[in-house]
Structure 1
Amino acid sequence: MHHKADMTRWQGRVDATEGEHGKRWHQIVKPLEDATDDGGVALIGFACDAGVARNNGRTGARQGPAALRSVLGNTPVHRCRSLADAGDVVCDDDRLEAAQEELAGVVANVLARGKLPVAMGGGHEIAFGSFSGLAHHLAQREQAPRIGVINLDAHFDLRMAERASSGTPFRQIAEDCQARGWPFHYCVLGISEFGNTQALFERARALGVRWMLDEDMHVAALDKVRATLADFLAQVDHVYFTVCLDVLPASVAPGVSAPAARGVPLDVVEPVIDMVAGSGKLRLADFAELNPSLDIDQRTARVTARLLARIVERSNA
C-alpha cells in the first residue's frame, strides 16, 4: 500500500533568530502533492521486511524510513531548497512483488515531475522496485537507455532463488535488461570475499559486472577507486545509485541485517558519493538495510542521513 506523507514525522529544532539561513529540512519539506514541478528532491519510504525475511536475514528494516525521517528533520538547508516527501510504500505481510511494483510507480511519477527520487529502505529488495521505476520512465523516452547501476555493497545480491528476496535484485535487473534488449551495466564497490560464494563471483563474471573488494577500497587506494568509477561512468548515460548500509564498518553502521566484518570507511564512501552525485548522470538513489531495532545510539540512522543529505547537496537537485 502507498500511504501519503505523514508530515507530523518531520520535526526538529527551530533557530528563529537565525532567519532564512537558519532553516532545517523539517521547515521546508512539503508533501509531494503540494510541491511544484521545479526540480528538487522527493523522498520515498519503502517500509519492507519481506525480502530480508525471505533471505533469512534479521528483520526490522521496515522501520527504516521512519527512523531516517526523524534524523533528517534537523538537516540544515544548504543548496537544496526544494524537498518533497512522497510518503511510504508499505509491504504488508509477504506481498513483496506488489510493494516493488508500487514503489516503481511512485519512482516513475517522481521522475516524470522532474525531481530526483531518493528512496529509503527497507531491505535491498528495494533495488528491483527502484530500477523498475527508472526503466519505466526511460523506456518511454529512449530505445535502449544505457543505465549504470552503481552499488556500494559488501554483497553482489545476484542470487538465484525460487522467489525474489533482498539477495536477488541485481540478478532480476540483469534479466529485465536482457528481456528488454538493454545493456546491463553493474558496478559493485565494497565486495567482501568472505561474504559471497564462489557461485556469486562466477555469476558476476558471466554478467560482466565490475567490482572492487572492500580490502582494495582504503584511503591510500582512492585514486584507483576514482579511476574505476570514472571508467564505469563514461560507459553510461543514466545512473541508478544504491547504497547498502552493510558496506560500512559495523562500528559505523551496526543497525543492519548483516554487519560488515571489515567494511569500507567513510573516507572512501563519501568521495564515491560526491563523484556519482556530481556526474550529472544521477537519476535515482536509494539506501537499503537500515534496521533501527539493531541500531546503537541511532548511529546507522545518523550516518545514513548524512550520506543521503550529501547526495542531495552534491547532485544540485
Structure 2
Amino acid sequence: MRIVFAGTPEPAVPSLRALVDAGHEVPLVITRPDAQIGRRRVVTPSPVATAADTLGLSAHRTARLDDVALEAVRAAHPDLGVIVAYGSLVREPLLSTPRHGWINLHFSALPRWRGAAPVQHAIIAGDPEVGVDVFQLTAGLDEGDIFGEVRFPRPIAATAGELLATLADAGAELLTTVVGQIADGTARSRPQAGDPSYAPKLSIEDGRVDWQQSREQIMSRILGVTPEPGAFATAQDARLKILAAVPAASEAPRLRPGLVAAHAKQVIVGTGSDPIALLRVQPAGKPAMDAGDWWRGARLSELQFDTDAQMTGDVGATA
C-alpha cells in the first residue's frame, strides 16, 4: 500500500524501517521540525527525519498538522496513514484523507494509559504487564478500535528508555502485520474494553523523588522518569540528578527518609521503607559520575535530602 508515515522520536524509527522492508510504498514522511539539542543547542533533525533521509524518503517537517500538511498528504494519494509518536493530534479533514484512514501504534495496553507518556506512567504506577496496540485513529484521544496487541510482563529493572526500545521493536513487528491484514482485507478490530486511564506528558517536577514513599515506589519513580525528564533530589539549596539507583544491600541499615550516608561501599538513601543505593548521579553544571566519586568529593559523613522544599543547584558545590 501507499502509506503516509508520521513520527518523530527514535521509538518510531523501527516502524518506519519495517514498513519499507515489508515492501510498502512510503511517498511521504511527516515529522517534527529540527530541534536544538544539548548544551550547545545544536540544530538536529528528528530521528525519523534522519531515517527518512537514509531510506531516500521525502520528509515534511511541521510542528502541527495544518493545511499545508493536509495538502502534502493529499498530494501523496495514500491508502493508509500510520502514526507512531508524532507529537500532535490528527484532526479532520486530514483524519479521513487516506482511503483506510489512519492507524496508530501506541505503547500501552489500551485503554490503560491513553496519552503522551504511557510507558513512563506504567512504570511509575508499578504495572506488572505492559504492551503495544495498533488501533484505528479517531477524533478521541487513543479511543479507536484495536486491530492487534502484544502483551508481556514488565521487566522490573528496566528504565522507561530501555522498555520503550523493547516496545518499539515489538510494535514494529505488530504494525507490519496489521498493515498487511488491512492490505489484503483480513484485518479485524474490536472495541477497547475496560476503564481508561491517562498518561499526560511528564514535567520536570514529575522527576522529584519523594523520600517519604516506600522503596518500591521510589524505584518505580526513578525508572519511570529515566532518561526523561530525569529523577532528582534537592538538599541545601542544591539539586542532584539521580541517573541510576538500585535497592540497597539487604544488610544496609534503615535511615530516615532522605538521609544519605555511606555503607559498605554503597551510597545509600533512606526511604519510607528500606533504603536505596545511588549508582550514578549528576550535580548541576557537572558531568555524570559514579555516586561513590560524588560522595567522596563532597566529603560528607551524611546529607539530608529535602522531603518537601522546592530547591535547585549543585550539591557538590555547596558541600
TM-score by length of 2: 0.27
Name which one, 1 or 2, has greater alpha-carbon Rg.
Answer: 2
Q: Which has the higher strand share?
A: 2
- TM-score, normalised to structure 1, is 0.27
Q: Using CA pairs under 8 Å that are at least 6 residues apart, name the structure with larger relative contact order, 1 or 2.
A: 1
